[in-house]
Structures are given as structure tokens and as C-alpha cells.
Amino acid sequence: MADGAVVAVAPGDRLGAAADYEAGPGTYVRADAVVASLAGIKQLVASGAAGARPALHVVRPTAPLAVVPSVGSRVLARITRITQLQASADILVVDGTPCAEPFHGVIRKENVREKEIDKVKIEESFKPGDVVKAEVVALGTQRLYALSTAALDLGVVHARSEEGGDVMVPVSFEEMEVPGAGIKEKRKVAKPEV
């Protein structure tokens, strides 16, 4: 990370190796990595003690950021509730900039994927707590942003299993699993960025 660079992160983002950094506020250690526990700005804080490792922190912006979703914005949102017809979500990051306060969005059944819309089941696409990458397609009713995960690079980017709460990794566009445990769950998975 370059000096003075502002790096926006979302929950579940890997910040650095646990062997090289201490986990500070807004982070936790998972496996061998320091991971963000909230959406915010990544900070590297030097230790005052000789030989001690620097700490990684994630902080929310102190002043409201002038970021508002618009049609075409790419967002990171946390699923808050699901029904048979839609998933409700809190938008946390807009075009790489963390929001001071979350915006509210909804992913309707017809916006989950591009093909075979009649076969989409919301409960097999998302679960409460999942973090999804989505695109804003419209400003809906009641100040809700209409979101879409139809493109291949959109969908769930961070999820925990319903059984045990372990972090899952994608194994296909429709499935995630807990590594080494054999636990698989259906999701509308975003194509990983290479």
C-alpha cells in the first residue's frame, strides 16, 4: 500500500498475512490472514515497540463521503432478508468508495441472472449475511435501489455456511463450499476476478 493511498475494503477482504501484521480494530484473523470485518478504509499503523509488527485497521470514514449510487454503479451489498420474490440488501460500497451510511437495495427474482429466470429461486441464490457484488439498474420505489447480479462477474463474493458459519469459497457459478469440510450450499456466485 503506497503512502497516503486510500484503500476501500469490504467485509471479508484479505488485508495481509497474519505473520506480518497484527489485527487491529475493524479486522480479525482467519486462517493465516488479517481480514476486514466491516466496510471502510484500510489503515496501516506502525507499532511503537521495537521489533513489533505493524497493525492493520479498518475505519469508517470520519466525514460523510459524497457517494450516492446511480444507475450503472457497481456496489457491494450485504443481504439482510430474503423472500420468494426478492432479496433485500444494505449497500456498503459504491464504485469502490465505502458509504458513510448504508443505502437500501433490492434484488428481484428477475434480476438474479440473465437466463432461465423462471427457474431462479431466491433462497438458493442468496442467504442473509452474504456480501454480493451487484449493479444498480434503477432507483426503485420507496427509496430502494434496484440491483442486478445478472452479469457473470456479479453475485455472491463472500458467504458463510448456514451450518457452522464457516467461510465458503466458490466451486462453480451456482455453488460454494467450506474447504475441507465437504459442506456445499447453492448461491449465485460471482465469477472470480483474475
pLDDT of residue 1: 45
> Can you say how many angstroms the Cα of residue 16 is from the centroid of all Cα atoms in its chain?
17
- Provide CB contacts within 8 A for 172, sequence distance 6+: 189
pLDDT at 118: 84
Q: What is the pLDDT of residues 129-154, one digit of tens each?
A: 999 999 999 986 667 899 999 999 99
* Whole-number Cα distances in Å, 74 to 148, 159, 165, 193: 10, 19, 27, 14
CA distances from 136 to 118, 122, 155 (A): 22, 18, 13
Residue 5 is predicted with a pLDDT of 60
- Asked if residue 2 has pLDDT above 60, the reply is no
β-strand 74-82 against 86-94: which pairing, if any? Answer: antiparallel
How many CA atoms within 13 Å lie on the side-chain side of 14? 10
- CA 168 to CA 91: how far, in whole Å? 21
**Is residue 164 exposed (0-12), middle (13-18) or buried (19+ Cβ within 10 Å)?**
exposed
pLDDT tens digits for 18-72?
999 999 998 988 888 898 887 778 888 887 777 788 999 988 766 555 678 889 9
Q: What is the pLDDT of residue 71?
A: 92
Residue 193 has what pLDDT?
58
Q: What is the radius of gyration, based on Cα positions, of the chain?
A: 17
For the entire predicted model, the pTM comes to 0.69
Separation CA 42–CA 5 (nearest Å) = 9
Paired with 177 in beta bridges are 169, 184
Check: CB of residue 128 under 8 Å from CB of residue 159.
no
> What domains can be seen in the chain, in order of their start residue?
7-59 (2.40.50.100), 74-186 (2.40.50.140)
Residue position matching grid coordinates 488479517? 34
Look at 51 and 177; give whichever has higher pLDDT: 177
Is 124's pLDDT higher than 60?
Answer: yes
What are the tens digits of pLDDT across the range 66-120? Answer: 678 889 999 999 999 999 999 999 998 888 888 878 899 999 999 998 888 888 9
What is the rounded distance in angstroms from the CA atom of residue 15 to the CA atom of residue 21? 9
Indicate the pLDDT class of residue 171, thresholds 50, 70 and 90. confident
Cα–chain center distance at 57: 17
